[in-house]
Structure formats: structure tokens, C-alpha cells
Amino acid sequence: MICAMRRLTCALLFASGLAQTPLAAAMARPEIEATLAAAMTQIVDQYVDPVDPRILMANGLQALKALPGAEQPSRQAAIEQSVVAAQQAEGMTPQTRILAGEILRFADGAPRETALNAALRGMVASLDAYSRVATPAELAPPPASVGLELTMRDGALTIVRPLPGSPGERVGIQAGDIVTSIDGRATERLPLPEAVALLRGTPGTPVMVALRRAGAGDTIVVQPVRGPVQAPPTVRWEMHGAVAVIRVAAFDSTTGGKLREAFDAVSARADAPLAGLVLDLRGNAGGLLDVSEQVAGLVLREGSRIGSLLGRTPADARPLRARDHVVPHDVPVVVLVDHRTAAGAEIVAAAMQDHRRALLIGAKTVGAGTIQTVLALPTDQGALVLTTARVHRAGGDPLDAVGVSPDLLLDDATRQIAVHADMAADFNPTVLQQVRTAVATASAGADVAVLAALAALKPATSKPQ
């Protein structure tokens, strides 16, 4: 999944780059124990489910066995003995000392730094697919990249698109290409943010990218040169008569304000009073949780329940409420979603559907209904990105691993429209026929989903059914 919801902007490969990693400094026991204790405390106190610290310690120790310097049978046996000792130890302090002792057996400098990182990753890997260790470079990158928008699709690092004019576009990278390696490092099972970090770097430096492309027999290798890349706007809009189509590509710190500006602009530009709104969330992987609340609140009635968080801390166990309403209640709304719509964008789509405020058209969404919180580690060791809550819809159903099924299921390839089973008996047949006709008669290359939305908003049947 590209970005589960988190309280910082999702890592997309736009304007940022990777800081140069400094040479590993000497690491003594107090520093290692402090880092391990901080990580343990954060996981035990804030992870969405209760966690046994002894299991965390065992996983951290087991991760050391795969490192260079731990291959000898005697070393493997010693680690196993430490696993047993950690299981028997009472309290976090003695458990932490056992793991720190094994890390200290690696040579000072880079090997010991690698061992600490491996132990942390081992602990976090046992939690869920979205919790991970973020490197210092991910948290403070300088401005250079190759300008690619990426996603994980069926476990493969896939190009959504190269940004216009970017280094990636100039070397011929195409939408749909699968990145198999970056500077020789395989991308299989590599977390998306780590892949993004590998592609970032110092301006003017090249990066070797190996690609698999449909229809191409051999691996394609390109070498874009990193440079400044302007992030595309998160909000774009256009008018179709008195109907506004607003595309929201991501939920970052600027999205709420930009979306409000877009509403003001379309209201002023409409040929007549605004007759409908199409909110396009296709490809939107989410981002900031509070922006999800802002976006839904602009359309839903003040105070409406958008959803709820279920976690173990007060910040992660609360309802999500609509606020700062803008769109008039008599303006019909269509929301477009697809198989890339995720996280915060799913919260918005689900809330619109649960309150019957919008007609949803497209494909079933990702089902990334969890919240990730970034928790700093001491002494510049980066941060833990932990799943701290699950999201439930306004109606109470979970989003995670379920996603949002649209009211009208659209297959872009076959141009087939199907009504969701829950709505089939009551769906307005006139609206359905309008949509099917618009889709069937669309010209080659047309945005079929937008045409379907516009057809659903025709004045004769302007209300979502």
C-alpha cells in the first residue's frame, strides 16, 4: 500500500531528496539501550494492539542472526541463548540489556549501527505491514529527486506516472513500468518509503533504475539524473457547464485551503448556480488525517460523524466529525474512486456514501483503514512509524482490508457499468441508463469515469439515488 494514513505527509517522490548518510559514529551501551528502550516503550504503549515485550525482544534478537558476523554456529547458538534469557527476564530493562549485549558483540561503527537497525526492524516487522522504521534520511531530505509517482501494486513497485518534464520522464520511464531494482538493490518486498529514499539524492547525481515493461522482453535500464522537481498541485478543477469537476490527488497540509479556494472559484465561474460537483479521488493515497476530516467536512453537514478511530490512546480513540461546511446541501455530488484510492481518501468516500451525500462511481478501493503515527527515536536514530489506530466508517463497519465498494462499479477496460448489489433494487433506472449510454458512446481516450459522473448529474435526475 502506497501510504497508510499518518500524521505527516505521505512520502511521494516529488520535490524532496535523500540526505547524505554520515559515517557511523561510535555506539556505546547507553546509547543502544536508550534507543531500544524508547522503541520498546513506544510499541508497548501506543501500538494498536497489546504487544508482549518478550516477543519483541525475541524478534529483535532473531534478526541479528542474518547479519554478516553472526554466521558462525557458536554465534548463532549464543543468540538463541539470549532469546531464551530474554523470554525469562522480568521487566523491560533486563530485556533491553540482553538485546543491547548482543548488538555490542558486533564491531563498532557501521556493523554495530547495522545491528541496531536490524534489531529495530525485526521488532517492528512482527507487527503489521504498515509499521516500520524510518531512517533519518527519510525524515530530513534535501531537494532532489527523479520525479516519479510510485505505488505498490500486487507487491511490485509500480510507476503511476513520471511527472511532466521530470528526469524520469526525460529518460523514457512510463506509467505502468515496474521498478525491479534501484542502484542494484532489488525492490521486491522493499517498503515504498525506502524505495523513494533510494531514488532521492544529491542534485546532479545519477541513479540506475531497472524496469520491467509489458511487451518488452528484456529488462530496461535507465539512469536519470536527480534534480529539483516541482510537486504537482494536489487540487485541480475544471467546469463542465454548471458542474464542477475537482480532482484531489493527495491530502497534504495545503489541500484543505486549496480545496476551499477551488469551491470559491467554481462557484464564481459556473454558467448558472452550481448544479453539481464531481469530487475525483482516483489515485489518491491519502495523507494527513486532519485533512481527511477537512475535506469531508466541506461537503457534509456540520457535526456529522465521518468515522471513528479505534486505538489505545486518547488521540487514537475518538470520533471524526465534519466541520467548516462549504458546499450547499442541495448541490448533488458524485465521488470517483478506483483501486488506488486509499487511506484518508477512503474515509472521505465512505463518509459520503454512509450519509447518502454522494453517488460513488468507479472501482473498489484499497482498504487501507489504519492510522500510522511517527514517533521519534533518540540520538538521530530515525523514527518508528507505528500503526496506532484502525478506522471505522460512520456506520460502524471497518475500512481496513475491506475498502469502499462504489454504488456504480465501472470497468474502464470493458466499459461495463454495474449497480452494487445493495442498491440494485432501488437504483433510479433513468440515471442508470444515462450513465450507461455516456460510457458506451465515449470516444477513445476519453475519461470514462468523468463522463459517467456528468451523466449521473444531468439536471433531469440531479439527485444521487
Pairing, β 148-153 against β 156-162: antiparallel
Cβ atoms of 459 and 451 within 8 Å: the answer is no
Pairing, β 276-280 against β 243-248: parallel
- Grid coordinates representing 355 are 450519509
Mean of the pLDDT values across residues 250-279?
A: 87
Q: What is the pLDDT of residue 465?
A: 43
The model's confidence at residue 459, banded by pLDDT at 50, 70 and 90, is low
Q: What is the pLDDT of residue 8?
A: 36
Q: What is the pLDDT of residue 438?
A: 94
The model's confidence at residue 165, banded by pLDDT at 50, 70 and 90, is confident
pLDDT > 60? residue 369: yes
Q: How far apart are alpha carbons 349 and 363 in whole angstroms?
A: 12
The model's confidence at residue 461, banded by pLDDT at 50, 70 and 90, is very low
**Nearest alpha-carbon partner for 408 in 390, 385, 434:** 434
**Nearest alpha-carbon partner for 386 in 82, 134, 153:** 134
Q: How far apart are alpha carbons 139 and 6 in whole angstroms?
A: 14
Q: Look at 266 and 64; give whichever has higher pLDDT.
A: 64
Q: What is the pLDDT of residue 120?
A: 96
- Grid coordinates representing 359 are 453517488
The model's confidence at residue 271, banded by pLDDT at 50, 70 and 90, is low
Q: How far apart are alpha carbons 265 and 277 in whole angstroms?
A: 13
- Grid coordinates representing 300 are 457534509
Mean of the pLDDT values across residues 326-339?
A: 94
Q: Dihedral of the CA atoms 178, 182, 185, 186 (nearest 10)? A: 0
pLDDT > 60? residue 19: no
The listed range with the strongest mean pLDDT (30-39, 192-201, 268-277, 372-381) is 30-39
Mean of the pLDDT values across residues 145-164?
A: 88
Query: Cβ atoms within 10 A of the Cβ of 228, count?
Result: 14
Q: What is the pLDDT of residue 441?
A: 93
Read off the DSSP letter of residue 19: P
Q: Look at 9 and 303; give whichever has higher pLDDT.
A: 303
**Domains of the chain with bracketed CATH:** 29-132 (no CATH), 144-222 (2.30.42.10), 235-461 (3.90.226.10)
The model's confidence at residue 462, banded by pLDDT at 50, 70 and 90, is very low
Amino acid letter, residue 366: V
The model's confidence at residue 180, banded by pLDDT at 50, 70 and 90, is very high
Q: How far apart are alpha carbons 335 and 391 in whole angstroms?
A: 20
Q: Look at 105 and 15; give whichever has higher pLDDT.
A: 105
How far are the Cα atoms of 37, 67, 111, 386 from residue 117, in angstroms, in the given order? 14, 11, 10, 16
> Over the stretch 227-242, which tens digit does the pLDDT of each residue have?
988 777 899 999 998 8
Mean of the pLDDT values across residues 86-105?
A: 94
Q: What is the pLDDT of residue 406?
A: 97
Q: What is the pLDDT of residue 153?
A: 81
The model's confidence at residue 23, banded by pLDDT at 50, 70 and 90, is very low
pLDDT > 70 in the chain, percent: 92
Q: What is the pLDDT of residue 230?
A: 78
Query: Cβ atoms within 10 A of the Cβ of 380, count?
Result: 12
- Grid coordinates representing 174 are 512510463
> Kindly report the CA angle at 455 between 338 and 359, in degrees rounded to 5?
50
Mean of the pLDDT values across residues 38-45?
A: 96
pLDDT > 80? residue 179: yes
Q: 428, exposed or middle or buried, with CB in 10 Å at 0-12, 13-18, 19+?
A: middle
The rounded Cα 44 to chain-centroid distance in angstroms is: 24
pLDDT > 90 in the chain, percent: 71
Q: What is the pLDDT of residue 141?
A: 61
The model's confidence at residue 43, banded by pLDDT at 50, 70 and 90, is very high
Cβ atoms of 372 and 6 within 8 Å: the answer is yes
Cβ atoms of 419 and 427 within 8 Å: the answer is yes
DSSP string for 343-359: THHHHHHHHHHHTT-EE
Phi-psi region of 382 (alpha: psi -120 to 50; beta: other; left: phi over 0): left
Cβ atoms of 86 and 54 within 8 Å: the answer is yes
Comparing 108-112, 367-371, 407-411, 424-428, the range with the smallest average pLDDT is 424-428
Q: What is the pLDDT of residue 424?
A: 81
The model's confidence at residue 370, banded by pLDDT at 50, 70 and 90, is very high
